[in-house]
Structure 1
Amino acid sequence: MAPQTMRQWTVEGKDGFDSLKLNEKAKVPELGDKDVLVKMHFASLNYRDLIIPKGKYPFPEKPGVVPGSDGAGTVEAVGSRVTRFKPGDKVVTLFNQGHLAGSLDGASLQTGLGGAMDGTLREYAAFDEQGLVSAPKNLNLAEASTLSCAALTAWNALYGLESRALKPGDTVLTQGTGGVSIFALQFAKAAGATVISTTSSAEKAKTLKKLGADHVINYKENPNWGEEAKKLTPGGIGVGHIVEVGGPTTMAQSLKAVKIDGVISIIGFLGGMSKDQPTFLECLNNICTVRGALVGSRLQFEDMNAAIEANDIHPVVDEKQFDLSQLKEAYQYQWDQKHFGKLTVKIA
């Protein structure tokens, strides 16, 4: 039996990480007929989690929300009409709880954990059974907790446009060493693609090579890395899939790298916003598709987990791990970009 009270964090304001408040005696959620009570074991952090208490998140959020986009745990109890899970099952949260299949719509956009709906940084959480997936059997719960946003976003970037889905022999460009970029590298190599990665240091370049990157470009040494990436493709035709995490500040280089009819999936804006950026005409000049990708659906999540099991893919998890009580320190550690791969918070 779950206890009646638990520890949980909430976001109270937009004053930075001091807006994070810990409640030691929050009430454990009650279950509806179709709800699943999950004992949370781990959560992992994303850039969006960090900017919500800073007031910089451009999507829906509610006052006093429980933060946390990603999480994994064990099923503690189920409602009377639940059919998908039973107590003891290991599960992972779906980020947009209402995005089950197909394209994201306005209604499912309002169901993001840690923003529009209470998230994972608490000891117990109740979710509709449709908002959970089974954890991959080859992963522990710390690893599984990293999948909800970063992994599924990478999967959507590579496979979300079915007519342009990644194929063996394609070339993929990833930027940096954040969670999405590393997952994209791992998924692309498992699919038989060639991967070109960018990074800012020789040390990170070595790690990217170990993870399977075929080519690594230091963007600090070569600010015109887009043209360099294009030269590295067979016949210099350009890159088929670009996972664009920098946003406006790196888009110009991505457009130089992309091949005719290639796809650039914009999944973030780590480089900040800038008025000095390409126009829509650049998409025409390069005859490419530029799309925004906001995580993915439960159906995509289940397809991704099947690939993770089949290829025994393990997420890259930072060696530093924080406890739930150290959440502010964890946020600051990731904000200072001291992490490599995904940063986890141990809850149970």
Structure 2
Amino acid sequence: MEYFHKPVLLAEVLKQLRCTNGSIVIDCTLGGAGHAEAILDLITPEGFLLGIDQDIAALDAARVRLARFSQQNFSLVRGNFSELDRILAEVGLYAIDGVLFDLGVSSVQFDRAERGFSYRFDAPLDMRMDQRQALTAFDVVNAYSRGDLTCVIKEYGEERWANRIAAFIIKARQNRPIATTFELVDVIKDAIPAPARRRGGHPAKQMFQALRIEVNGEIKILERSFRDAIKWLRPGGRLVILSYHSLEDRVAKNVINDLSKGCICPPGLPVCTCGHMPQLSVVTRKVVRPTPGEIAENPRAESARLRAAEKL
């Protein structure tokens, strides 16, 4: 299957990054290089892009897509953006003009049945973005306690039936391990009362989202990674974050708002004593969302939210 990446909010991403010839940009979530290709068109021939992804299939596809550019203008690294400090030091980049985070899972990962991300295909419970890591969705489903499962499903899936689903999983796995996506879907359908199943989308959607986030540690690494990226931005450099989940967006919003604060002294003090200085200026006062036209063309863009900030 071709690793095709249709970039979400592309025009807005380019606008907020303010890419020009000579810019140095990091794409922390390269995917199929849809955003990266458009960025390189703007920053070459003098600019440089560093693309990071933990999925080897994404990197292989990106090399093909970016083959028309000079090797002097880009470098691709297999890794996780939580390792940004190490990666940038090894590459030798110390002053960046723009950083892009396009969070979530790519369409290709969903559409490749063998990756186990989707409830639409029967496949082993995997869900690893980085095939080198040990923890899989099988491990979470079959080894976590009822309490831990409930927490994962409730926090990351925002599923109202989290405790009931966890109880049904514990009962089902007493007979034999829950090994495939369809086996898990059957358990979820049994756990959710029929009237609730008839409302909204697929009954397994929120559970599969929760598993994917837990397996890949998606939420846990965000705050530190955003703050690390900001350290490397030169004054005037831009941070752009695309999120697809309320938890991701909340972390992005909180980090940007926290680092854009000035004085943090207790209210009522006549003179500031903290000396706290803001590091960022908020660029997008309101979250930016796709237009109806983009959603019609690319339905998976519907949940996208974009936030941007500038280094002071």
- TM-based fold match above 0.5: no
Identify the TM-score tier after normalising by the shorter chain.
0.3 to 0.5
Q: Judging by fraction of residues, say which structure has more helix.
A: 2
Q: Judging by fraction of residues, say which structure has more strand.
A: 1
